[in-house]
Amino acid sequence: MKDNLKAKVKNAFIWDFFGKLSINTSGFIISIFLARLLEPSDFGLVGIPIAIIGIAWTFYDMGLSGTLIQKKRVLPIHYSSVFFINIFMGLFLTIVTYLLSNSIASFYNDDRLVLIIKVISIYFILSAFPLIYIVILKRELRFKELAKISFISSIIGGVVGVLLAYNNFGVWSLISQQLLTAIINGIFFYKISKYKVEFKFSIKALLYLWKFGFRIFLSSIIDNIFKRIDLMIIAKLFTPTTLGFFQRAKSLDTMIITYSSGTILSVLMPVLSKIKNNLPVFQSVIVKALGLVTFVSFFLSGLFFLISKELIVVLFGDKWLISVGFFQILVLVSFISPISSLLSIILISRGKSKIFLKLEIYKKIILSMNLFIVFIWGIYGYLYGFVIASILSLYLTTYFASIEIKLSKQVLFKPIIIELIITFISTFSIYILNLDSSLSDVLILIIKSAEFLILYVFLNHIFKVTSYQFFINEVNQMYNKLRKNKN
C-alpha cells in the first residue's frame, strides 16, 4: 500500500509539473501577444474587476473544498452538499457584482467599468460549477486529467483572446479570454469526472466540514484580500496605465512563484494529510520538499532579477519598460511565498486550522501596516516596504511550523540561508561582468541566463548543498520514469 501511494504521488507530481509547465508556458506566450497588441491601460482597466473576482472567489464554498481534500472520510452527501453551496454562492456573487457595477465604476471615476463589470460577473457562476469535480480529481491524485483539461481550456481561451485583440476589441479580448476558459473548464471537468451529482443537500454534512473549514475559509479571505488590495488601491490613486505596468510586473512575479512551488504544493496537500500522524515520515517529507522549493525558487529569483530589463523589453516591447523597476523589487523576495506556502501546509494538513488562522492574522497585520506607505511614498515605497514585511512574515511562518513538527528553526532556515548566499554571490558576480555590455537585449538575456545557470549550479555542486542534491535526485527519477514509460 505504501509503495502504491508512493507511485501515485510520483505520477501525480510528474503530471502536475508538466501540466503546469505547459499551461504556464502557453499562457505566457499568449500574454506576450496580448501585451504587444493591447495597451497597458487595457490591462489596468480589466485589472480592477479581476481583482474583485479574486477576492470574491474565496466565498464560493467557504473553505469546504479544501476540507474535502484534507478529510480522510468523505461521503457522497458531502460532495453533493458542497456542489450546491458552490452553485448558490456563484449565482449570488454574480447578482451582487452585477448590481454593484455602477457603484464600483463611480468609486474609480470611470464609467467604462460599468459594462465591463456586468459582463465579467458571469465568471462567478461559470467557475462555481466545476469546483467539486476538481476537488474529486485532486483527492484521487488524477493530476493527468487536471493538467490536460486546464491546458486545453487555456489554449482555446488564449487563442480567442489574441484573435479579438488583433481585431481591435481592446479590453474585451481579455474578458472574453477569461469567460471562455471558464466555460470550457466546466464542460470538460464534468465530462471527465466519474462523479455524478446527487440531488441531495444536508446542512449537517456542511457543518461537519465547516468545523475545520471555517478557519481555512477565514484565512483564505484574508489572504485573497491582501494579494489583491494593492491593485485596488493603486487603481484608485493612479491611472489605469500605471496599474497596467504594476500588474504586468506582479503577474511575472506570480509566474516565478508558480514555477518554483506550484506542483510540489498541490501534490503535497493530499499526501501530507495521509501521513500526518507519522511524525518522522512527515518531517522527512517536509525537509525534502523544503530543499526542492528552496533550490528552485532562489534560482528563479536570481535569474529573473538579472534579466528583468531585457526580458520585459524583448517579450513585451519598450512600452512596458516602466514595469522593470516594479518587477525587480518584487522578485527580490519572490522566493518567500513558495517557502511560506510550503510551511503553512504543515499546519493545514495536520488539522491545526486554529493555529493557521492565528498565523495568517499576524502576517496580515504586518502587511497591512505596509499598505499605508503607498499613500505617502507611492508604489516604490510600498514595494520596498513589502520586501521587509515579507521577510518578517517568513520568520513567523517558520516559527509556527517548527513548533508543530518539532523541528528546530535552524533546520528549516539552513537551506534558505545557504541558497540566499549562493544566489547573492551568483547574481552580484554576473551583474558586475555585464555592466558595460553593448550587445543587443536578446544576446544579453541569453548570456546572463547561461552565466547564472552555470555559476549557481557550480556553487551548489562544489559545496554539496543538500537542496541541490534533492533536486538532482528528483530530476533523475522523473527522467528515468518517463524513459521507462516511453519504452
Q: What is the pLDDT along the chain (487 residues), one digit of tens a residue?
A: 445 555 665 566 666 666 667 777 788 888 899 999 999 999 999 988 888 888 877 776 666 776 777 666 777 888 888 888 888 888 999 999 999 999 999 999 999 999 999 999 999 999 888 888 888 887 777 777 888 888 889 899 999 999 999 999 999 999 999 999 999 988 888 888 777 777 888 888 777 777 766 776 777 778 788 888 888 899 999 989 999 999 999 988 888 787 666 656 666 766 776 777 788 888 888 898 899 889 999 999 999 999 999 999 999 999 999 999 999 999 998 989 889 988 888 888 887 878 888 898 899 899 889 988 988 999 999 999 999 999 999 999 999 999 999 999 999 999 999 999 999 999 999 988 876 667 888 999 999 999 999 999 999 999 999 999 988 987 787 677 667 766 5
CA angle 382, 227, 399 (to 5 degrees): 90
The distance from CA 459 to its chain's CA centroid, rounded to whole angstroms, is 29
What residues have CB less than 8 Å from 110, skipping those under 6 apart?
45, 240
Please tell me the predicted confidence (pLDDT) of residue 17. Answer: 64
C-alpha cell at 86: 458552490
CA angle 33, 39, 45 (to 5 degrees): 115
- CB atoms near residue 24 (< 10 Å): 18
What residues have CB less than 8 Å from 423, skipping those under 6 apart?
298, 299, 301, 302, 456
Burial class (CB in 10 A: 0-12, 13-18, 19+), 387: middle
Measured between alpha carbons, how far is 149 from 181 in angstroms, rounded to an integer? 10
Q: What SS3 state is found at 142?
A: coil
Measured between alpha carbons, how far is 324 from 327 in angstroms, rounded to an integer? 5
C-alpha cell at 361: 492574522
Task: List the one residue out of 429, 484, 333 whose CA is nearest residue 10.
Answer: 484
Task: List the one residue out of 315, 43, 48 whose CA is nearest residue 174.
Answer: 43
Measured between alpha carbons, how far is 31 from 112 in angstroms, rounded to an integer? 23
DSSP 8-state secondary structure symbol assigned to residue 407: -
C-alpha cell at 341: 506556502
C-alpha cell at 197: 451529482
What residues have CB less than 8 Å from 371, skipping those under 6 apart?
229, 230, 233, 382
3-state secondary structure string across 247-296: HHHHHHHHHHHHHHHHHHHHHHHHHHHHCCCCHHHHHHHHHHHHHHHHHH
Q: What SS3 state is found at 332?
A: coil
Q: Which amino acid is at 354?
A: K
Q: What SS3 state is found at 13?
A: helix
CA angle 179, 183, 184 (to 5 degrees): 120
Domain ranges of the chain: 1-237, 239-487
Compute CA distances 330 → 105, 211, 308, whole Å. 29, 36, 11
* Main-chain phi, psi angles of 328, to 5 degrees: -60, -35
Compute CA distances 89 → 82, 124, 129, whole Å. 10, 8, 10
Placement of cell 473576482 in the chain: 53
* Prediction pTM value: 0.81
Rounded to a whole number of angstroms, the CA Rg of the chain reads: 22
* H-assigned helices in 171-202: 171-192
